[in-house]
Every structure is written in structure tokens, then in C-alpha cells.
Structure 1
């Protein structure tokens, strides 16, 4: 059995803007008490350094009452004001970024309490045989987080596979975001290029650093490309030779654009997410135009179909998906050419467009319409649930020419469970 091995990369990054103090003590107190209104949290801080990030600024701690493990970091700040970085990170809310629980100021130091994710992507891949299909799903989540940070004017400039954590449900988490570069003018503008980097780590730096040029958020794209290139050789081959060749050719094309020497031609996170390499994650999608309009309400899942749009609601998740046959003028500038996909050859309307058919599907979330490839981790799984319902619950849908992707609808106008009748 071939095991996917990942190399450990030391993380060293501390910009002068981030930590303006010339001397910053790294000793931690034994206990940390945080009061928020009537709530009092007491944390016991151990002497254990975390094996990622600025290790002497981060310690493993425990909630005194629940014994829940947390990460506690020390952050410097200007007196009588909240540090810009902590203030920014407090407002971050993304499922692929470690969560900041609390922060408090004591004697000129701001202590931050983060969630603790013990499993690294590196250790997970060593213990499990990861195929390319699965690894692509991890890469997508990493890019989702980078894109979110980019949207919040944060450059996650240096990271290794050891800074990429993974939960039991295979959710990726980027950690130590406080060591990133923050820019109030936005990630499309330049960042400083004055961070000290060890000789060992220089091989992972973007060419902009060697040239002493100002940097943008694209430095994280380069670093990700290096990490992927180093580890692709450890991924087992796919049994289906034709699929293997097609997928690996697409992968190497993806890798090459991440490692474009020119930062101008290197893709922004959004553009990288729209690469055809991620189409394979959405092979469960199919053209649903021919399905008759219906209402579905079973076990807390409410679905309505109206023409070429399906609305999906479940607890706090609410989105609409547009069929591949809708007007393609929406987000047209984001579409990237994709290799042919036989799964969609049955759809005449889809065949009119030479671009990626997966990107034809668009999602409306919070009044924003985006390509399906940009959906988050949670929405992705709910999307799979939606199309699973279409294929499994409606068993009377006829199949045409033995093609399981081709549907001719016989769905009633109204479907509901007996409890909802």
C-alpha cells in the first residue's frame, strides 16, 4: 500500500507591523481568567508548545470546568487600544479557519483563546491512503479559506501542511491566522517584503521575495503550489487508466498556474477555485431542467423546484441552485475552459457552451450568485444531499437509454411525508 507522505516545513513569519514591540516576553501565566458579562472562563495553561505557528507565542490550555483543550496565544498591542490583528480576526467567521473564542488584555499583553484541532493534514495523510480525488477536496477547502482571508484583506503568507489541520469530519482548518499580513487597503495592493525567513524556508517563498519586490495575497498561492508539487508523487494511481491520465493532466495544469513565476499571471484565489481540477468534486450534478416543478418537505428538508431553479432549506442553510441551462451571462467572466465531460453529453443546451459544465451551475446564497465551485464545506454537502434526494427518493423517475444521469420527470406536483400532510 502506498502511503501519502507529507514533509514538515518550519513556519517562521513575524512582520514588524504585527509585533511592534522590540522585546516581547514569551512566558505564560499558569491560569488565565476571562470575564464576559456574567460568564467567567478559567483556563489552565500548560508548558506545551504547539507544533505549528509561532510556537513560543502559543500554548496548549484546558478549560478548568469542561477540560476542553484550547490554544492560547500572546499578542502584543498598543496601549489603550485593541490590536488591529486581533480585532480583525475576531470578526472572521469561516468554517475552514480556526475559531477565536475569547481575548483579554493583561499587563500590556492580549491573550487569545482559540479552538484546538489536534490532527494535522500531514498526520492524517500519513495514517491514511489518500487518492487524488480526496486530496483535491482538501485543496479546495484550503483555497476556500485563502479566498475568504483575501476577501477580508488578509494575506496568509507563509504556511506548511503542518499549519493545515483537519477535523474528524474531514473539514480543513487553517491555524495561526494572527501571523498573517493585514492590509487596510486590500489584498489587491502591495504588502511589505521585510519578513525574516530562514534559509530552510526560502525555497517555499514566492519569486517576489527573491526579487525584493512588494508582495500581494498571491504569495500564498505560490506556497500552496510548492507544497502540492512536492507531495503529488506519493498519491496512488487511479485504477481507471483513462480517468487517471485525464485527472493527472488536469492536476499538473493546475499546479503550473499556481507556480507561475510572474505574480501578475499567477491566479487570484477565486480564479484558482474555478480551475477544472475541481470539477470532479461535482460529478453528482446533472441537468434538472426536464424535472417537473414540485414541492418536497420531509424530515426538516424543504425543497421546491420552479422551472430551472431549485430552492433548498434545512435548518439555518438556505440556497438556490440554477440549472446548467440558465442564461450564462451570470459570472461569465469567471468561467474557465474545461476538458470534455461525457457525463453531460446528453444535454443539448449544455453542449452549446465549450466552458466547464460544472461551472454552469450557479448557487445563490445570501443574495449573491456564485459558481458552484465556490460553495463552502457545509453547502457542498447539502448540495450532495439535494441531488441524492433527486436520485433516490424519486424512484419513479424514468431513466433514458440506460444513462443514470438522464432524467425524464414523472414527479408529482406535491410531495410530502405523511406527518406533514
Structure 2
């Protein structure tokens, strides 16, 4: 009897565990509707599932195709009976997560079995890309800058990703990166713990695979968006170490990202102006000596007036105030206080780099109502800034050519005046000499 009872209990436990495993497993393609009818932009459209892409927090991701337009999308699907509803994620994307370095969200839908989230499709994760490509240091810096742009945006929104890593980043064209997985994201005011008291007691929180997560999150403490800086610094340093870059600026930067105490850890807005990123702005120069001009190139108009550039673009318009322009406007979202200035520690080979970083801070970019350091300009604005300085460089060369031409003309004119003056003097002297000779001849004849 006892054995029979024990056997039945064992069968029940195995069945329950099997059910739990099934719930945690990826959803199969065959279990999905075919076609999937999804409402996008107020219109119901039909999609067919092409392939399975992977597993995210509480759901599976599939590559799907619009049957009519053949446009591809990423569809996240999860069963309705999960503790984290897709509707919450949908509201997060619709209301807060609108940024060019965050995956574009197209809509939410549900049926009797599943919830669906529709996103733009990006074919490769940043982790896969870096695992299969040896990227140049300057290109990796540009990738790092974009990740910090995302974290700076989330800092303002007071959102913590909590699980920042390279396989939660996708790669688009021209090394543009996009954050995709916000399943663990929380607001600073409404937090949930990633590690329970039991996890902490058993040491699970300090397992090797979780060391990229900030200490305050692993220890079950309240955290702010600065926790993601730790994760960013950890995974970025791992890649930097693999390519063996030895530079004082690099070491200093990661030391500041990986400070265990979040109160003194560098924040995303300050990290973006660190000298490690100076090389991304080698194209920037003072344009005070260039005369006012106005040019048009296709849909872009550039006007320089009194050391302020007005850059008009269909999507990415801004003003740029020169580093030496008068009556500078204060930054609207950024202020480097005394404690943060001390974070920019000097080493023997770092002083010049820091001077360059602070000189860059003297420029002002005005986007809408916001006054920003140029280091805070995101991917598209950064690329437009490069195009702008290419134009400025051409204008500067033109100005120098005109200036040199005028200088040559002035020099030539001065030489001609001198020659003419000397010629006149010679003629006058010759006439005087001739008159003197004539006078003497006449005197001799009179005698």
C-alpha cells in the first residue's frame, strides 16, 4: 500500500514537473494560428510564420512575413497564463521606449491562447556579430556610445533594464545598435527583485553567469538606472580585454563604470563625455574664422551666422553653437557638478585627452527645446554632425583659398606700388640729373 501510494505521488510530481517544463519551453510553430491575423495601424493584416528565432523573457520569438507586402517582422509570442503580461511590455514601448536605438514596436494583440508583440526584424544580435567579427577599436567605441545613449535615455525615464547584455542588443545597418529585450525592465519607483532571499542565501546571486549584473541588484537592494552602467561596463570590458587595448583612458573609464558603490559610479550622461570617446569627434573643429554663408544640398540647408550653424534636415534639424560663440545657452539636461568633475581623473598620459573632452563640451547642440553637449547626440544626429563638418571643412578651404588669393593680390598690388614708386623716383632723379647737366653746360657756354 505504501509503495503504491509512493508510486502515485511520484507519478503526480513527474507530471507536474513535466507540465512546468512544457510551460517554460519554447512555443512550437505548429501551435500558432496559420495565418496569424494581427491588427497593425488600425488594419487587420495576415502574416505567415517563417522560422523560430529564439526565446526571450516569458516567450518565444518568431520571424514572420506580411503575406501581402512580404515585409518581415519579429513576433514575440507568450501564453496568456504568465506572470508578466505582454500588455505591460506593450504599454512600456508605446509610452516610454521611443528611441532610435531601441527596437521599433508596431503593436500588441491577443487571442484565446496567446499574447503577441510585433517588432521590427533585425537579423543579428550584437553578441553574435562580435563573436564572429574582430571590430576596430573606434567602431567598438561607436557601438559603446550608442549603448550609453540608450542608458542615458532610460536614466531620464528612470527605467532600469536590470539585465543589460550584448545578446539583448541587435545590430542594424552601419553599426547601428538597438536594444530589444525589456522583460526585466522596471521603473525605479516600482521595483521587483531579480534574486530572492533564498538565492542570496544559497549564493546563486554570485554565480559566474550573473557577475555582469550590478552588485546592488544581485544583493537584493533597491537600484537606479546606474545599475545598468555596471552591466554595460562589465560586458564591454570583456570584449575590450579580448582585443587587448592598452590605454590609460580605457582603464580609467571601466574603473568608473565598475565601481561597486552605485553612489559614486559614473552615470550615463557623464560617461558619454569621457575622454575615451574623443576619437569619435576628431572631425570637430572651431569654425569661428569661417565667414557667414548659406548653402543648400538636396533637402538639407545649412546657414552659418555669427558663429551659430542652423542645420535644417527633414528629420534631424539642429543648431550648433561654436565653442567660442558668445552668450552660450546652458545645457538643459546636463550639468557637470564638482563631484563629477573629480571623476575625470588625470593620469600622466591623460591630461591632453581631458582638455580635448572639455573643449568639446564648449560646443552647444540645440535639438528642439533641448540644449545638449555634442557628445549626447544620438546615432542619426551624430552622422549628420559629421556631414555638417565635412561641409564646414570645404567652406573653410574655400575661405582660405579666397583669403590667400586676396592676400596674394594685396601683396602683388603692394609690390606694383613699390615698383611704380621706385620708377617715379628714378625718373625724377634722372630729370634732376639731366637738368643739372644742362645747367652746367649753359654756365660753361656763358663763360
**TM interval, short-chain normalised:** 0.7 to 0.9
Provide closer, same or farther for how the CA distance between residues 38 and 272 of structure 1 changes in structure 2, counting only shifts above 3 A: closer
- CA shift, 1:109, in A, is 4.3
- CA shift, 1:128, in A, is 3.3
Provide closer, same or farther for how the CA distance between residues 408 and 214 of structure 1 changes in structure 2, counting only shifts above 3 A: farther
- CA shift, 1:49, in A, is 4.0
Provide closer, same or farther for how the CA distance between residues 388 and 192 of structure 1 changes in structure 2, counting only shifts above 3 A: same
Q: Is 1:156 the counterpart of 2:161 in the alignment? A: yes
Q: Is 1:333 the counterpart of 2:345 in the alignment? A: no
Provide closer, same or farther for how the CA distance between residues 63 and 409 of structure 1 changes in structure 2, counting only shifts above 3 A: farther
Aligned to 2:414: none
Provide closer, same or farther for how the CA distance between residues 200 and 47 of structure 1 changes in structure 2, counting only shifts above 3 A: farther
SS in 1 for 2:397: coil
Provide closer, same or farther for how the CA distance between residues 357 and 83 of structure 1 changes in structure 2, counting only shifts above 3 A: same
- CA shift, 1:54, in A, is 2.6
Choose the corresponding residue for 1:67, options 53, 63, 70: 70
Equivalents in 1 of 2:376, 2:389: separation in Å?
18
- CA shift, 1:145, in A, is 1.1
Aligned length: 357
Provide closer, same or farther for how the CA distance between residues 190 and 40 of structure 1 changes in structure 2, counting only shifts above 3 A: closer
Aligned to 1:279: 278
Q: Is 1:45 the counterpart of 2:44 in the alignment? A: no
Aligned to 1:136: 141
Equivalents in 2 of 1:364, 1:218: separation in Å?
26
Choose the corresponding residue for 1:124, options 117, 129, 135: 129
Aligned to 1:404: none
Provide closer, same or farther for how the CA distance between residues 371 and 269 of structure 1 changes in structure 2, counting only shifts above 3 A: same
Choose the corresponding residue for 1:171, options 167, 173, 176: 176
Provide closer, same or farther for how the CA distance between residues 65 and 231 of structure 1 changes in structure 2, counting only shifts above 3 A: same
Q: Residue 131 of structure 1 contacts residue 236 of structure 1 at CA under 8 Å; is this kept in 2?
A: no
Q: Residue 291 of structure 1 contacts residue 409 of structure 1 at CA under 8 Å; is this kept in 2?
A: no
- Correspondences of 1:229-308 after superposition (within 5 Å): 229-235=237-243, 248-308=247-307
Taking structure 1 as the reference length, what is the TM-score of the superposition? 0.75
Q: Residue 57 of structure 1 contacts residue 73 of structure 1 at CA under 8 Å; is this kept in 2?
A: yes
Equivalents in 1 of 2:394, 2:244: separation in Å?
31
Q: Residue 104 of structure 1 contacts residue 110 of structure 1 at CA under 8 Å; is this kept in 2?
A: yes
Q: Is 1:35 the counterpart of 2:43 in the alignment? A: no
Provide closer, same or farther for how the CA distance between residues 128 and 392 of structure 1 changes in structure 2, counting only shifts above 3 A: farther
Q: Is 1:316 the counterpart of 2:315 in the alignment? A: yes
SS in 2 for 1:66: coil
Taking structure 2 as the reference length, what is the TM-score of the superposition? 0.71
SS in 1 for 2:139: helix
Q: Residue 125 of structure 2 contacts residue 167 of structure 2 at CA under 8 Å; is this kept in 1?
A: yes
SS in 1 for 2:135: coil
SS in 2 for 1:162: helix
Provide closer, same or farther for how the CA distance between residues 392 and 354 of structure 1 changes in structure 2, counting only shifts above 3 A: closer
Q: Residue 154 of structure 1 contacts residue 180 of structure 1 at CA under 8 Å; is this kept in 2?
A: no
Q: Residue 96 of structure 1 contacts residue 174 of structure 1 at CA under 8 Å; is this kept in 2?
A: yes
Q: Residue 90 of structure 2 contacts residue 107 of structure 2 at CA under 8 Å; is this kept in 1?
A: no
Aligned to 1:113: 118
SS in 1 for 2:175: coil
Residues 69-117 of structure 1 show CA distances to partners (whole Å, capped at 9, x for unaligned) of: 32211355999x9833311212332111111112112227431111111
Equivalents in 1 of 2:124, 2:68: separation in Å?
24
Equivalents in 2 of 1:299, 1:394: separation in Å?
21
Aligned to 1:212: 220
Q: Point out which structure has higher relative CO (alpha carbons under 8 A, 6+ apart).
A: 1
Residues 231-275 of structure 1 show CA distances to partners (whole Å, capped at 9, x for unaligned) of: 2122265xxxxxxx6xx2111111011000101111222122222
Equivalents in 2 of 1:296, 1:228: separation in Å?
41
SS in 2 for 1:150: helix
Gaps of 5+ in 1: 1-22, 238-244, 345-352, 400-406, 411-421
Q: Residue 309 of structure 1 contacts residue 321 of structure 1 at CA under 8 Å; is this kept in 2?
A: yes
